[in-house]
């Protein structure tokens, strides 16, 4: 199927916005998976920054700094867990969202840090993505 000019322009217009969840949510028809994955990436950056502070404190062998850094990890960690759940619970509405969701599920299941919740949510996420791809294949 050849994309129409309208489809291409809509995709180009939405692509940069998908990085900013609040703006993306305001766009009618924005794929919930793309929004959730953008939020997950932001949460991951926050967690990575918190880990970096902890490692810096560990390298300095400063027990007080390590304790403070570990305590400061809690909020970004909870945000990351919530974003991960939201990403796996989001249901794609577009072909791109379906592919991105499948890729995300595969990456999370291949991770050394996969949670029980991720394993529990993965089958439904995969089914939702496949349903979109099947629907799009018939169109």
Better-predicted residue by pLDDT, 3 or 96: 96
Structure-token match 């599920």, residue found: 105
- Cβ atoms within 10 Å, residue 53: 16
For residues 73 and 89, what is the distance between their CA atoms, to the nearest angstrom? 24
Range of the domain at 110: 18-138
In this model, does residue 65 exceed pLDDT 90? no
Low-confidence winner among 24-28, 47-51, 71-75 (lowest mean pLDDT):
24-28
For residues 35 and 56, what is the distance between their CA atoms, to the nearest angstrom? 32
Pair 125, 88: CB distance under 8 Å: yes
Residue 87 counted as domain residue: yes
Let me know the angle formed at the C-alpha of 91 by 33 and 98, rounded to the nearest 5 degrees. 65
DSSP letters spanning 63-87: HHHHHHHHHHTHHHHHHHHHHHHHH
Better-predicted residue by pLDDT, 5 or 113: 113
Residue 11 counted as domain residue: no
Residue 41 counted as domain residue: yes
Q: Say whether 39 sits in a helix, a strand or coil.
A: helix
The per-residue pLDDT for 139 is 66
- Tokens at 27, concatenated: 């766009």
Residue 12 counted as domain residue: no
Residue 71 counted as domain residue: yes
Average pLDDT, the chain: 82
What is the domain count for the chain?
A: 1
Residue 100 counted as domain residue: yes
Residue 5 counted as domain residue: no
Residue 1 counted as domain residue: no
Better-predicted residue by pLDDT, 81 or 4: 81
């Amino acid at each position: 199927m050849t994309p129409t000019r309208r489809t291409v322009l809509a995709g180009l217009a939405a692509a940069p916005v998908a990085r900013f969840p609040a703006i993306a949510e305001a766009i009618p028809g924005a794929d919930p998976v793309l929004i959730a994955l953008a939020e997950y990436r932001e949460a991951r950056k926050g967690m990575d920054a918190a880990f970096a502070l902890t490692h810096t404190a560990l390298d300095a062998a400063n027990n007080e700094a390590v304790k403070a850094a570990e305590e400061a990890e809690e909020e970004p960690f909870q945000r990351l867990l919530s974003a991960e759940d939201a990403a796996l619970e989001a249901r794609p509405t577009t072909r791109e969202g379906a592919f991105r969701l499948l890729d995300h599920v595969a990456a999370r299941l291949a991770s050394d840090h996969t949670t029980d919740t991720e394993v529990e949510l993965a089958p439904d996420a995969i089914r939702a993505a496949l349903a979109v791809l099947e629907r799009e294949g018939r169109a």
